[in-house]
Structures are given as C-alpha cells and as structure tokens.
Amino acid sequence: MRKVVVITAGGTIAMTGADDELATPQLKAEDIVMTVPGIEKEADLTWINWRNKPSPQMSIGDIAELSELVTAQCETNIDGVVITHGTDTMEEVAYLLDLTSRKQGKPVVLTGAQRHPSMPSPDGPVNFADAVRVASSSLGGEQGVVVVFNGEIHSARDVEKTHTTRVDSFSSREFGPLGVVSNGNVYWYRKPVIVEEYPGGELHDQVFILNVNLGSNGYLLDELVERGARGIVLEALGGGHVPPEWMKSISRAINKRIPVVLSSSCRGRLLTSTYGYRGAEVDLINIGVIFGDGLPPKKARIKLIALLGAGYTEYEIKKRFEENFYN
C-alpha cells in the first residue's frame, strides 16, 4: 500500500457553518479523512495540520514555507503528497509549489471544495478521495504539481479557477486536463511538455500585476517603481499591446533594472511581429519588455516571483520566460 501524507492548509474543505452560522475554517486533517469512509484501504495515510486559513489570507511567505515542507516530505519514504487548500488562490499556490519545491519524482496534489461540509452535497469528500488516488498513482510523479477537482487532473501551469461557486470551476481551458479520476481509477491522457524548477532563495511579494485598459496610462507603474517594486507584470490588451501613454513609464522601469513581463487579458500566445504602431508588440520588444510565454497574468507573476527568489539576473529571467515562446 502506497504511503501518502496529507498536508492541510485550510479553505472551504475545512470549514463549517452549521446552525446558520457563516462558514469558517475549523476542521483538522483527521476530520477531512473521516469524510471518506474506506479511504484508509486505498493508501497508508498520515497527516500534518499545517495551517487552517481561508486561501485569500495566504501570503507568499506561507507558500515558501509550504514549499520547504513539501520538499522535506518528498525526501522521506512517502510515495505522494496531498494538500487541502482553499480554491481562491489554489491555482497560484499550485504553480508556485511546482516551480519551487523539489518533488523527487513524487506526486504532489492540491484539492479542496467549493461547497463546505455543512452545505447539501459537499464536494470535498470526493475531491479528497480522488486526490489520494492520484497521489498514489505510479505515473503521478511525472506530472509535476497537479490540481484534482471534480474528477479532473490539471497541470499547475495550466489550471484556472473559472467560476465563483460551481463545482466544475477548475479547468485548463487552453489544453484540457492531464487526466481524469473515474470510478476510483486514475486515467492519464498526457504529460506536460514544459517542466521547470527554481528552488532556493527568498520569495518576495513585491511583484505586481497592472491592468492595461482603454485610455489608461503608466502612472501606477511609476508609483510602484518609486515604492520599490521588484517586478511588474502587465496585463496588456489583445496580442500584447498598450496605449502609447504607457511607453515612457515602462522604459523607466526597465532602465532601473526592474523586469517588466508582458501577459494578456486574453487567452492565446502574444504576437511578436504583426503590428507597427506605437505601443504594439514590436515597440515593447525594442525597449526590453519580457514576453510571458503565454502565461495568464497570475501565473506570470508567480513565475517572476520564483525566478527572482532563485537569484536570476534580468537576462536570465528573460531567457527563462522566452525560451519556449519563440520556438
């Protein structure tokens, strides 16, 4: 029987709100395990009650500590890790763990719930059971960190929360899931092509996402630079475009050796050589903006945090973002 360690971080899966009370985190790992009768027959479970927080209260420091804990557990004789976590920041936490923890070829699985245990038809028990099965899978260690939700297995790089309350909220809209869990069995469809690890160093939270909108300018970018920002992600328009009023502010940030990474409010790859107007992609390339490898803004920020934490220079950060982009 495979050994799986359960690390609890809180979230809806650990909340109760009986007697018309508002839901708050109260349940421990042993309570979550008890919601799935017979799960002890599928894996040898141990657990660590690490945090019991709503996921919007998680900090970068918390996840740095969690990354170290995952690394330490993967260096023992366990076969897999399951982390129960809140859904609001799960996609960011999963990707940061994927980039910064040393998994030693062992499955690391995040799961949670959209409906807390006091609600009708809570989804936490089935998600937890599926997560244990994926963490016990002999192929799970080849997939990097994954999110298991609603019977689907998603890559940490691709997964997004797409709805506030639906139990099928998590999806990989561009590429689809890595696999599924059906009737207690794990079925893999594909493996991630891009596999990256950048462990080590201190993870800083002074990395910001700025939304580029119709008629906007770079005033907030200037302000963040003055206040000591370590990195900036621009959620640009379309294929990677900004109003011309942004260009001076972006240039000032880059000249101060602050990496500026370009993402988009749309899905799909950024353009590189289509438009020639002021503020289009060629303009941004020429002043040294880093193209974000098709990552959505949240994920681009997480990768930039990981790269800065690992001590990469501006040139190395650009290379790590763009080495897959131009292929």
Residue 207 and residue 233 in contact, taking contact as beta carbons nearer than 8 Å: yes
SS3 assignment, position 13: helix
Helix (H) or strand (E) holding 95: helix 90-100
Q: What angle do CA 36, 3, 177 make, to 5 degrees?
A: 70
* Distance spanning both ends of the chain, measured CA to CA: 43
* Six token digits for residue 97: 């763990």
Alpha carbons 86 and 63: distance in angstroms, whole number: 13
| Candidates 8, 12, 89, 100; catalytic one | 12
SS3 assignment, position 102: coil
Question: Under the phi-then-psi rule, with left for phi > 0, alpha for psi from -120 to 50, and beta for the rest, what region is 279?
Answer: left
DSSP per position, 114-178: SS-TTSSS-SHHHHHHHHHHHHT-TTGGGS-EEEEETTEEEETTT-EE--SS-TT-EE-TTT--S
Tell me, yes or no, if 87 is annotated catalytic.
Answer: no
Catalytic positions, written as ranges: 12
